[in-house]
Amino acid sequence: MKKPLIFVGLIGLFVALGFWLPYEELFRELSLFVGENRGIARMLYCVVYVTAVVLLVPGSLLTLLGGFLFGIFEGVILVSLSSVVGAGFAFLIGRYFARDWVESRTRNLEGWKQFDRAISNRGFYIVLMTRLSPVFPFNLLNYTLGLTMIRFRDYVLASWLGMAPATVLYVYFGSVALTLTDLFAGESTGSNWQYGLMAIGLIATLGLVVVLTRLASSILKKELGEPT
């Protein structure tokens, strides 16, 4: 349940800050820059996102920003690409360049030995379930998976598929965040049916992520021999 709770918390944070901080004006300036320099904006966004992943910076806010600046369809593409590339770099760094540092960080992680053993047997499947589940820290996981025997291509594909539902959820909310803030502030210009469709989409996406997260967590615990 960790991912949905984080998502709900971010919704409250965005709405609350909208009443006191002028971030709406900043976001409008960013939107204007993106509209006038879309190619450069895409490149800069991807570079910043990949760098953040490699530096272990949580990507939730950047994912929301991607939805706000680029819309849901382009935002999902850019976030998916950036997160997978960043995860790939972290994996390779952990496997070939910073193995001792990563091992020192994972040595005391609860369930690491069982996890490593499960990866050896069913690498793609376990990584997929791990990406859907919040059992292990996401950013550190990029590095620790480099210590396992999983093939790089399996890691990339499983990571991309497993991160997709949460990516869609956060980008979706980012694409409508400003509209929601305007709605709560009484400054909206949209119609009721537009907001109704928006709410249905958010609820449906959130519900899907909750179901997938709980299912993946249950499966992963069984694979690791933990009580569910």
What tens digit of pLDDT does each residue of 92-126 get? 999 999 888 887 777 666 666 777 777 877 888 88
What tens digit of pLDDT does each residue of 71-90 get? 889 999 999 999 999 999 99
Q: What is the DSSP letter of 57?
A: -
SS3 1: coil
Compute the distance between CA of residue 219 and CA of residue 214 in angstroms, rounded to an integer.
9
Residue type, 68: F
Domain borders along the chain are 2-223
Burial of 33 (0-12, 13-18, 19+ CB in 10 A): middle
How confident is the model at residue 224, as a pLDDT? Answer: 62
How confident is the model at residue 183, as a pLDDT? Answer: 44
Q: How far is CA 83 from CA 52, 183, 226, in A?
A: 9, 31, 29
Compute the distance between CA of residue 120 and CA of residue 54 in angstroms, rounded to an integer.
24
What tens digit of pLDDT does each residue of 152-186 get? 999 999 999 989 988 988 888 888 765 655 544 44
What tens digit of pLDDT does each residue of 47-63 get? 999 999 999 888 888 89
Q: State pTM to two decimals.
A: 0.78
